[in-house]
Amino acid sequence: MARFLAQARFIIGALALVFVVAVATPAPSFAQQGTPGAGVNEEQLLQQLNRISGRCTLPDQKACTLEQPAGREWREFDQGMLLWIGGILIIGAIVLLALYYLVHGTIRIEGGRSGRTMVRFNALDRLVHWTVAVSFIVLAITGLNITFGKQLLLPWMGPENFSMWSEWAKYAHNYVSFAFTIGVALMALLWIWFNFPNAADMQWLKEGGGMIGNKHPPAWKFNAGQKLLFWFVVIATAAVAVSGYALMFPFYFTDIAGMQLAQIVHALVAVLFTALIIAHIYIGTLGMEGAFEAMGTGEVDLNWAKQHHRLWVEQEMAKGRGAGAPSGAAATPAE
Amino acid sequence: MARMKFLCDADRCIECNACVTACKNEHEVPWGINRRRVVTLNDGKPGERSVSMACMHCTDAPCAAVCPVNVFYTTADAVVLHSKDLCIGCGYCFYACPFGAPQYPKVGNFGSRGKMDKCTYCAGGPEADGSKAEYEKYGANRLAEGKLPLCAEMCSTKSLLAGDGEIIAQIYKERVVKRGYGSGAWGWKTAYKESIAS
């Protein structure tokens, strides 16, 4: 009886093993017996992934991608859509600003200068601002050179000079990016406290920021337009920094599709950024009397401040940090 | 003038990599750069095929379109060549190329890729044909000597064909008819917007 049980156990075990093996191993393939032409199909593979990859014996695994027709779509973007979007945004911004200037002229300080000034940006604010500003201009020019240089500069400079300039421009773009990224990060830390939306912003936006007509909706240190620019700068810089460093360390973080995407994001955000900064430069210089001083000397005229940032002036006055006497009268003792 | 093309008959390629080796030797291509490579699809599975791939010398080449400094030019034989003197190593041609042809001597961090290198269809570069400067930058100029690319010339199974597009397409078509199958001319649709009926 014991022997029978042992035998039965053996047979059941063997059957179980056969079952497991039969289930686990796929049916043997007879590739050689099938249709000789039944190999991989290019069209089919491309339809599945829009990319064909296999095995190769090279250390550079990028070489194992046999075909990536997506490169042609990226080319359509880079040489088609990007030129249009970039051209329209940047030329559009300049044309709109020129029209606005022709209609409105420079926004004057109402009632002229008071001669009394108040501190708007301290030395650190201005250092950070100008670090970001100078590096942005370098990045914008060298970046636009990659997209528009061969149409605008190459015919004029000739191939040798244009290549030499473009190579230096590429290095400048790569290295200046660090100053820009760090600058914007500091700027975000310094100014984020003044840029949270509040009730005054709604009114400012409702009145269109006083851009049309002569109204001057009250604002704190930054009006809603400046706040929007601040948040755009912070978010756009994050986008161009992430995509830009992906491009600067090619294939370190991502594959070919990721590199193409990084270039698309980088280029689109950058042209929008450039268009907005052109408007920012306009309003800080030609567009508004008394505005440049805020980032120039750091001190603005009291009348300018009251006109554009009334709530901020009132707040500063309340803190006893109001306007100083005109510089000429600074030595005169108060009576 | 001929319209030069490459055609890899994947049903004949045995992945011997002789084309890769021939190319590297003929042009003294530096370590790390491969102007030609063999990719195996469905490796070890039924229907496995290997395809030898290099620059396909595309019609309306994407690399030339995206190059921000216009280093590319197309010869009378429709071979796509480039000037290493003008290349700034931005890497755009690699992003645009459907075949992964452009190669760079360095890793590329901080924009330090160096001058792009790729298959020249054994036709050198902008320097004088057969000159030392041309050889050092681009390798041998076999086409100027009346010879076809070495990779195809020495392919042991005659899988890789090089020459005038119409002639090699005809050879391939005859093969397909005779043996009764063919997986098509790999990359032709992408490179030349045409395919060979098989």
What per-residue string of b and e applies to B70-92 under the rule 16 or more CB within 10 Å gives b? Answer: bbbeebeebbbbbbbbbbbbbbb
Q: Where are the domains of chain B?
A: 4-192
Q: How far apart are CA B78 and CA B149, in angstroms?
A: 14
Residue-averaged pLDDT of chain B: 94
The predicted pLDDT at position A85 comes to: 97
The predicted pLDDT at position B25 comes to: 96
Nearest to B86 by CA among B32, B38, B126: B126
Which residues of chain A have a CB within 8 Å of the CB of B71?
A: 163
**Alpha-carbon distances of A312 from A156, A208, A221, A292, B128, rounded to whole Å:** 50, 19, 5, 18, 71
The predicted pLDDT at position A20 comes to: 56
Is any Cβ of chain B less than 8 angstroms from the Cβ of A170?
yes
Statement: B4-192 belongs to CATH 3.40.1010.10: no
What is the β-pairing status of strands A299-301 and B4-8?
A: unpaired
Window B:148-167, CB contacts with A under 8 Å: none
**Residue labelled with tokens 């605008």:** A152
The predicted pLDDT at position B153 comes to: 96
Nearest to B149 by CA among B15, B7, B43: B7
Nearest by CB to B43, which of A35, A55, A249? A55
In three-state secondary structure terms, B62 is helix
Q: How does DSSP classify residue A77?
A: I
Q: How far apart are CA A248 and CA A226, in angstroms?
A: 31
Nearest to B78 by CA among B94, B100, B55: B55
The predicted pLDDT at position A335 comes to: 43
Q: Please answer whether residues A103 and A290 qualify as being in contact, where contact means their C-beta atoms are separated by less than 8 angstroms.
A: no
The predicted pLDDT at position B111 comes to: 83
Instruction: Please report, as a single letter, which amino acid is at residue A130.
Output: W
Is any Cβ of chain A less than 8 angstroms from the Cβ of B32?
yes
Instruction: Please report, as a single letter, which amino acid is at residue A181.
Output: T
Mutate to test the interface with A, among B20, B88, B183 (most CBs of A within 10 A): B88
Q: Please answer whether residues B56 and B101 qualify as being in contact, where contact means their C-beta atoms are separated by less than 8 angstroms.
A: yes
Is any Cβ of chain B less than 8 angstroms from the Cβ of A254?
no
Is any Cβ of chain A less than 8 angstroms from the Cβ of B2?
no
The tens digit of pLDDT for each residue in B116-145 reads 999 999 999 999 999 999 999 999 999 999
Task: Find, in chain A, the residue whose alpha carbon is nearest to that of B16.
Answer: A57
pLDDT 10s per residue in chain A (335 long)? 566 556 666 666 666 655 555 555 544 444 444 556 667 888 888 888 888 999 998 988 889 999 999 999 999 999 999 999 999 999 999 999 999 999 989 999 988 999 899 999 999 999 999 999 999 999 999 999 999 999 999 999 999 999 999 999 999 999 999 999 999 999 999 999 999 999 888 888 888 887 776 678 889 999 999 999 999 999 999 999 999 999 999 999 999 999 999 999 999 999 999 999 999 999 999 999 999 999 999 999 999 999 999 999 999 988 876 666 554 444 444 44
Task: Find, in chain A, the residue whose alpha carbon is nearest to that of B72.
Answer: A159
Statement: A122-320 belongs to CATH 1.10.287.110: no
